[in-house]
Structure formats: C-alpha cells, structure tokens
C-alpha cells in the first residue's frame, strides 16, 4: 500500500491554493474548448505550452490534465443540444443524446453524460494509481529494443487500426515523420532537411505543428465550406433536473460500468484516443436495447446510449494518463501534447519519472481525482450556462481561434518565421482534412518519432548493427506478434467493411433505378 501513502502526500501538494487555482482554470478551459466546436483539448494544451513556460511544472501539468479531462466532459454538450459533436470523442454520445434532447430531456442527457464522465474517469484513475507501480516495475526491464517495439506498436496501431483507410493513416504517419526529422540530428550532429538555413537547425517546434494542423487547418477548412453549410439552428434549451431518477439510476449504473470496461483497456493502447471505445460502448448498448425490446433506443433516445459512451470516453483519458506517466507512451493527440510538455521541462515520462520526479507524479495523480470532482461540480448544475457558449456566432469563434493561434505560435520565440511555418502546415492540414486523412497520426509520429529513432540507434549500437537484437527478448516478440495479429484482424475487417459498403452502394443504386 505504498501507493496510498504517496497518493495522500500528493493530495497535500495538490491542495495548495496555487495548484487548486490551476486545477480550476484547467477545468474551466477544458470544458470550454470541449463545448466549442472546432476546438479540442490537444489544441488548448498546445496553445498554453509557450505560456506555461515560466510556471512551476507541477502546476502546469495539473492544469493540462484537467484540460484533458474537461474536454471530454464538455464535448457532449453541443452534440446533445445541436446534433453537432464538439469533438470526435462525442460522436457516439450524440446519437441517443440528441434524440433525448428532442424529446424534451436535454437536461437529463447532459446530466447523465457528466455523471458518466465522472464515474468512468474515477474508476480508471483508481486503477491507474494502484497498477502504475507494477507497470513501472515491468517497464524497468525495458531496453532500447523494447521501447522501439512499443513505438512501432503505437505507429502501426494508430495509422492502420484506427484510421478508416490504412493508406491514409500511413500517409499521415509519413507527414509526421517528415516534420519530425527536420533539424540537427542530436546523435551525429548532421543537418537534416534544413536546406542550409540556420532557422531550421532546432527543428520545427511541436507547437507550430500542432497549432498549424489543428487550429489554422481547421479555420481554413471551415472557410472552404462555410457558404455551403447553413448556420446551426438554435440550441435546444436544457430545462429540468439533470439528475437521473431512481429508476433511471438502475438503468444507467450498469451502462456506466460497461462503458468504463471498454474505456479502461483502450486508454492504454495507442489507438488515438476515445473514438473506438465510445463506439464499442454505443454498439453494445444498442444490441442490449434490441435484446430487451427497448422502444426508446433509436426513437426517443435511451439514457443508456448516453451513459456508456461518456463513461468509456473519460475512462480512456484516465488510463491514457497512466500509460503516459508509467510507460511514456502517448495514446491520443492530447497525451502526445503532454509528452511535448514534459520535454519542454526537460523530463521524459516513463519508469524513471516515478523515481526522479515522484514529487511531480503523485500530486498530478491526486489532482486527477480533485479535477474530476471539480469538473462534476461545474458541469452538472451549470450545463445550461455552458450551453450559452454555443450562442457565440461562428465568425467570432473562428476569428478568435485564428488570433489566438497566431498568438500561441508567436509566443514560442517571438519569430515571424514560426508564423509562416504554422501557416504552411495549416494549409497542409486543410488539404489533409479535405482528403479525409486523419490528423492524430501526424502528432504521434512527430512526437514519438524522434524517440523511436534514438532507441533504434541505441539498440543497434549495442548489438553492433545486428538487427536481430530487435526481436531478441520475449517482450519484444510478444509485442510484435500481438501487433501482427491486430494488423491481420484489422485488414480483414477493413476488407469486409468495404465489401459491405460496396454492396450497400450497389443496393442503393438498384433502388434508385
């Protein structure tokens, strides 16, 4: 029960006024970017990175973590009220949530999603606290070859398994590697892709990449179709009690637990965040509803269909933080941004972090719990106030995003060159959105790529160039075989999906005729 003692010490640090303030700021910011369409927690963390440079690292990470959780609290609001999910993590919640809102139960849907997010996050964080020392023990035997295998696993999983199209995922991964390679190679001192310009010697800042891809790319993308899409209708007004009744509690509690069960394992696997588990949770609820002949599911909206995906989403965030701290493995875009933040402070997440920076890790873990409580408090009774954010006209929203993106990039080093690079990457991001190439693999590749390269070269240096060292230990063999199995499975699934899609199109065409 070592963990419990460390956690209690962590609570003592997290309860200081300064850290509580960062926690509340993070919770409010996170919920706000979650509620607003077009903004995500990854972008919020990226924009805050230069600003937090002068802060104490514990406070900064407490703020980032509560932004991460807050984003998952807020993202269902616009989905439920407007039928336009604020983030991809809320798509699964939107189906039943918006149906509930249309049948006059908007407040209940919002309340259920907040409680679900809270329960999912709490369970996942508790598991992380108790299992992280064991994961750290496991990770301590990791050598360069194992870390490289882990990175390869992350690359393949995020590009091939999650993306709709494997080719598109690999394209995104390639763009990320290309951006990460620019600069002076740390091991040999060779210039790579700098075109002889000293501006690029330090490489392209990850903040420039993230802000360019996510913020500027999004603004240009919205600009390209703003005249085709009508302005969103007025949001439905959430009225009534957000709390489920006793009968509803009996319905949603098992759904919360089922959702959490999907979310917890997926947070630790690098499949790019919470889209997959939220959809799995939604699918399960749909099947269960059909089995018990629930007439509400798909018509008036069933409360379980909101509860399970929300719990799954925040459970993913909890275990993702665990994987990030204990293994140094980013499993979503926001987690990848937090790795960048750790690097900014000269720390490398992973097993060594628990030894070297225990005074940071445990307060951070304690702040997860405090953050979830604060998020529940600011989300459950005040959902109607957050919904007011949706009244901000789109033109002010995107103009504001543009100005803040420029500010965030300029704050890195006060160089106009960074702004040009962000604009260029923004145009690339627009093209990627246009051709539906996923963005998360770019960030994972850009952040994890250099680490994978270093570990590969270390491993090869130890073995004096013998590639066999990469598959020499049972751990690496296990990782690569799991990877092969997943890839084979996903390829089969992809081909089956596209066959089904093709036949559906054919059927549609036949109906038309």
Partner 1 sequence: MTQIEPHTTGSLRVQRLPRWYTGVSEMIIVAGVLLLTVGIVVGSLSAFILIMPLLGWLLASTLLFWVISWAFGSTRPVFDVGVAALMAALIQLAFSAGLGLSLPPGILEGVFSWIN
Residue 48 CB, shortest distance to partner 1, in Å, is 11
Candidates 102, 168, 300, 394; binder of partner 1 (CB under 8 A) is 394
CB of 246: closest distance to partner 1 in angstroms? Answer: 47
Task: Provide the pairing of β-strand 191-192 with 183-184.
Answer: antiparallel
Using the contact rule CB under 8 A, the part of the chain among 69-77, 275-283, 324-332, 389-397 near partner 1 is: 389-397
Query: Is the CB of residue 97 less than 8 Å from the CB of residue 109?
Result: yes
Shortest CA distance to 60 belongs to which of 308, 269, 363?
363
295 binds partner 1 (CB under 8 A): no
Neighbours of 351 (CB within 10 A): 22
- If binding is defined by CB under 8 A, does position 427 make contact with partner 1? yes
468 binds partner 1 (CB under 8 A): no
Nearest to 210 by CA among 47, 381, 32: 47
Q: Under the criterion CB under 8 A, does residue 423 sit at the interface with partner 1? A: yes
What is the SS3 string spanning 179-211? Answer: HHHCEECCCCCCEECCCCCHHHCCCCCHHHHHH
Interface residues for partner 1 in 428-467 (CB under 8 A)?
430
Q: Is 25 in the site for partner 1 (CB under 8 A)?
A: no
Contact 51, 404 (CB under 8 A): no
Residues 127-146 that bind partner 1 (CB under 8 A): none
182: alpha, beta or left? (left if phi > 0; alpha if psi -120 to 50): beta
Q: SS3 breakdown of the chain: % helix, strand, coil, rounded to 5?
A: 80, 0, 20
| CB-nearer residue toward partner 1: 213 or 383 | 213
Residue 488 CB coordination number (10 Å): 10
How many residues bind partner 1, per CB under 8 A?
35
Span of 96-104, 306-314, 328-336, 396-404 interacting with partner 1 by CB under 8 A: 396-404
In the complex with partner 1, the residue whose CB is nearer, 409 or 452, is: 409
Q: How far apart are CA 406 and CA 422, in angstroms?
A: 8
Task: Tell me how far, at minimum, the Cβ of 346 lies from partner 1, in Å.
Answer: 21
- 410 is an interface residue for partner 1 by CB under 8 A: yes
- CB of residue 232 to partner 1, shortest distance in Å: 13
Give the torsion sign (CA, 458, 462, 468, 473). negative
Q: Is 292 in the site for partner 1 (CB under 8 A)?
A: no
Q: Does 407 bind partner 1 (CB under 8 A)?
A: yes
Q: Is 396 in the site for partner 1 (CB under 8 A)?
A: yes
Q: Establish if 107 lies at the interface with partner 1 (CB under 8 A).
A: no
Residues 390 and 82: beta-carbon distance below 8 Å: yes
Spell out, one character per residue from 164 to 203, where the chain touches partner 1: x when CB under 8 A holds, - when not: ----------------------------------------
Q: Give the residues across from 191 on adjacent strands.
A: 184
Binding piece for partner 1, criterion CB under 8 A, among 85-93, 300-308, 417-425, 458-466: 417-425
Task: Decide: 31 and 378 in contact? Cβ < 8 Å.
Answer: yes
Looking at 400, 436, 467, 478, which residue binds partner 1 (CB under 8 A)? 400
Q: How far is the CB of 435 from partner 1 (least distance, A)?
A: 15
| x-marked contacts with partner 1 along 34-73 as a string, rule CB under 8 A | -----------------x--x-------------------
What radius of gyration, in Å, describes the C-alpha atoms of the chain?
A: 23
- In terms of phi and psi (left: phi > 0; alpha: psi -120 to 50; beta: otherwise), the region of 280 is alpha
d(CA 135, CA 138): 5
3-class state of residue 270 by DSSP:
coil
Closest contact distance (angstroms) between CB of 297 and partner 1 is: 33
- Distances 326 to 45, 97, 262, 329, 351 between C-alpha atoms, Å: 20, 35, 21, 8, 5
Question: Binding segment for partner 1 among 56-64, 88-96, 346-354, 412-420 (CB under 8 A)?
Answer: 412-420
| Torsion angle, alpha carbons of 309, 310, 312, 315, to 10 | 180
The correct pick among 170, 406, 475, 487 for binding partner 1 (CB under 8 A) is 406
> Which one, 1 or 396, has the nearer CB to partner 1?
396
Q: What binding mask, one character per residue, do residues 217-236 give for partner 1 by CB under 8 A, x or -?
A: --xx-xxxxxxx--x-----
> Burial of 463 by CB count in 10 Å (0-12 exposed, 13-18 middle, 19+ buried)?
middle
Told to check if 413 binds partner 1 by CB under 8 A, we report no
Smallest gap, in angstroms, from Cβ of residue 411 to partner 1? 6
Cα-Cα-Cα-Cα torsion 133, 135, 140, 143, nearest 10 degrees, comes to -160
CB of 424 to partner 1, least distance (A): 10
Q: In terms of CB distance, is 196 or 393 closer to partner 1?
A: 393
Which of the residues 333 through 352 are near partner 1 (CB under 8 A)? Answer: none
Angle between helices 57-82 and 17-35 (to 10 degrees): 30
Q: At its nearest, how many Å lie between partner 1 and the CB of residue 400?
A: 6
In the complex, what is the shortest distance from the CB of residue 413 to partner 1, in angstroms, rounded to a whole number?
A: 11
Supply 211's token pair: 């802000």
Please report, as residue ranges, which positions from 249 to 288 form the binding site for partner 1 (by CB under 8 A).
none
Which residue ranges make up the site for partner 1 (CB under 8 A)? Answer: 51, 54, 216, 219-220, 222-228, 231, 393-396, 398-400, 402-404, 406-407, 410-411, 414, 416, 419-420, 423, 426-427, 430
């Amino acid at each position: 029960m070592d963990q419990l003692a460390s956690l209690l010490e962590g609570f003592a640090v997290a309860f200081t006024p300064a850290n509580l303030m960062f926690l509340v700021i993070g919770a409010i910011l996170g919920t706000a970017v979650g509620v607003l369409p077009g903004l995500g927690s990854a972008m919020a963390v990226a924009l805050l990175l230069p600003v937090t440079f002068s802060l104490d690292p514990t406070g900064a990470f407490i703020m980032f973590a509560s932004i991460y959780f807050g984003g998952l609290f807020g993202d269902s609001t616009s989905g439920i009220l407007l039928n336009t999910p604020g983030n991809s993590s809320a798509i699964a919640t939107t189906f039943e949530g918006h149906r509930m809102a249309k049948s006059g139960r908007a407040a209940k849907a919002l309340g259920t999603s907040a409680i679900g997010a809270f329960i999912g996050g709490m369970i996942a964080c508790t598991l992380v606290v108790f299992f992280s020392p064991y994961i750290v023990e496991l990770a301590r035997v990791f050598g360069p070859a194992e870390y490289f295998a882990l990175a390869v696993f992350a690359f393949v999983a995020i590009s091939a398994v999650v993306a709709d199209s494997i080719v598109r995922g690999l394209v995104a991964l390639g763009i990320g590697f290309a951006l990460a390679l620019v600069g002076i190679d740390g091991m040999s001192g060779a210039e790579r892709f700098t075109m002889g310009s000293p501006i690029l010697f330090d490489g392209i800042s990850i903040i420039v990449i993230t802000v360019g891809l996510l913020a500027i790319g999004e603004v240009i993308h919205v600009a390209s179709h703003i005249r085709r899409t009508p302005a969103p209708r007025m949001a439905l007004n959430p009225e009534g009690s957000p709390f489920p009744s006793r009968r509803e509690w009996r319905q949603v509690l098992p759904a919360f637990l089922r959702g959490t069960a999907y979310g917890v394992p997926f947070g630790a696997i690098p499949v790019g965040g919470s889209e997959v588990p939220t959809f799995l949770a939604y699918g399960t609820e749909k099947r269960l509803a059909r089995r018990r002949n629930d007439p509400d599911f798909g018509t008036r909206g069933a409360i379980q269909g909101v509860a399970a995906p929300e719990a799954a989403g925040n459970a993913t965030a909890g275990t993702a933080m665990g994987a990030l701290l204990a293994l140094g493995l980013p499993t979503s875009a926001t987690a990848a941004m937090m790795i960048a933040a750790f690097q900014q402070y000269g720390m490398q997440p992973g097993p060594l972090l628990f030894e070297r920076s225990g005074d940071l890790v445990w307060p951070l873990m304690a702040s997860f719990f405090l953050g979830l409580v604060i998020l529940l408090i600011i989300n459950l009774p005040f959902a109607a106030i957050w919904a007011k954010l949706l009244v901000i006209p789109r033109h002010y929203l995107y103009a504001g995003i543009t100005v803040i993106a420029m500010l965030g990039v300029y704050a890195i080093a006060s160089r106009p060159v960074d702004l040009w690079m962000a604009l260029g990457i923004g145009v690339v991001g627009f093209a990627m959105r246009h051709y539906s190439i996923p963005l998360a693999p770019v960030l994972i590749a850009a952040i994890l790529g250099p680490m994978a390269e270093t570990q590969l070269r270390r491993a090869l240096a130890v073995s004096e160039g013998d590639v066999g060292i990469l598959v020499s230990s049972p751990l690496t063999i296990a990782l690569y075989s799991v990877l092969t199995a997943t890839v084979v499975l996903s390829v089969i699934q992809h081909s089956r999906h596209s066959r089904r899609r093709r036949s559906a199109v054919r059927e549609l065409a036949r109906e038309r005729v």
